[in-house]
Amino acid sequence: MRYLCLIYDEEKKVGAMSKSESDAFMGEYFAFTDGIKKSGHYLGGEALEPVQTATTVRIRNGKVSTTDGPFAETKEQLGGYYIINARDLNDAIQVASKIPSARLGTVEVRPIMEFNQP
């Protein structure tokens, strides 16, 4: 079963890291990604540019409305994601708990909806 792990970080906290801290943090991410590739959990994943680069698009009354940034101001921002293959939710939680950001921010684990194609 596939799960999406959405990674929320406090950009301020991550941005305030010293060079060596941030290198170590990235190193943890590389090691984690390698680990779940070896264990067969990894299906995909990316890191995102900071939230200031985000654009929100909506269509209201037939008109495209484009605004700066995310819809709601929150303390933590979506910073990246993994798509993993896991046996069940307990297995997915095991994987998610090893994502380095789980210590600093939060990780949301969502099952991916499977559509039965005819």
Partner 1 sequence: MSEDAAERVREMVDALYRSDSRRVLATLIRLLGDFDLAEEALHEAFAAALERWPRDGAPANPRAWLVSAGRFKAIDSLRRRARFDASLAQLAERLGPDAGDAATPGWDDEGVEDDRLRLIFTCCHPALPPDAQVALTLRDVCGLTTEEIAPAFLTAAPTVAQRIVRAKAKIRDARIPYQVPSRADLPDRVDTVLHGVYLVFNEGYSASSGASLTRPDLSGEGIRLGRLLVELLPEPEAVGLLALMLLHESRRATRTSPEGELVLLADQDRSRWNREQIAEGVALVERALASRRFGPYTLQAAIAAVHAEAPDAAATDWAQIVGLYDVLARADPSSVVELNRAAAVAMRDGPAAGLALIDAILARGDLGDYHLAHSARADLCRRLGRTAEARASYQRALGLTRLEPERRFLQRRLGELPD
What residue ranges bind partner 1 (CB under 8 A)? 1, 87-91, 93-94, 109, 111, 116
Q: Which is nearer to partner 1, 43 or 93 (CB)?
A: 93
- Residue placing its CB nearer to partner 1 in the complex, 14 or 83: 83
Cα–Cα distances (Å) from 100 to 28, 52, 69, in that order, read 6, 23, 25
Q: Considering the complex, state which of residue 26 and residue 89 has its C-beta at the smaller distance from partner 1.
A: 89
Specify the amino acid at residue 28.
Answer: E
Rounded to the nearest whole angstrom, what is the least distance from the CB of residue 58 to partner 1 in the complex?
A: 28
What count of Cα atoms within 13 Å lies in the side-chain half-sphere of residue 46? Answer: 3
Among the listed residues 113, 115, 99, the one whose alpha carbon sits nearest the alpha carbon of residue 28: 99
Please state the closest distance from residue 60 (CB atom) to partner 1, in A: 31
Closest to partner 1 by CB, 27 vs 111, is 111
Identity at 116, one-letter amino acid code? N
Q: How far is the CB of 83 from partner 1 (least distance, A)?
A: 15
| Min dist. Cβ of residue 87 to partner 1 (A) | 7
Q: Which residues contact 50 (CB under 8 A, 6 or more apart)?
A: 11, 15, 77
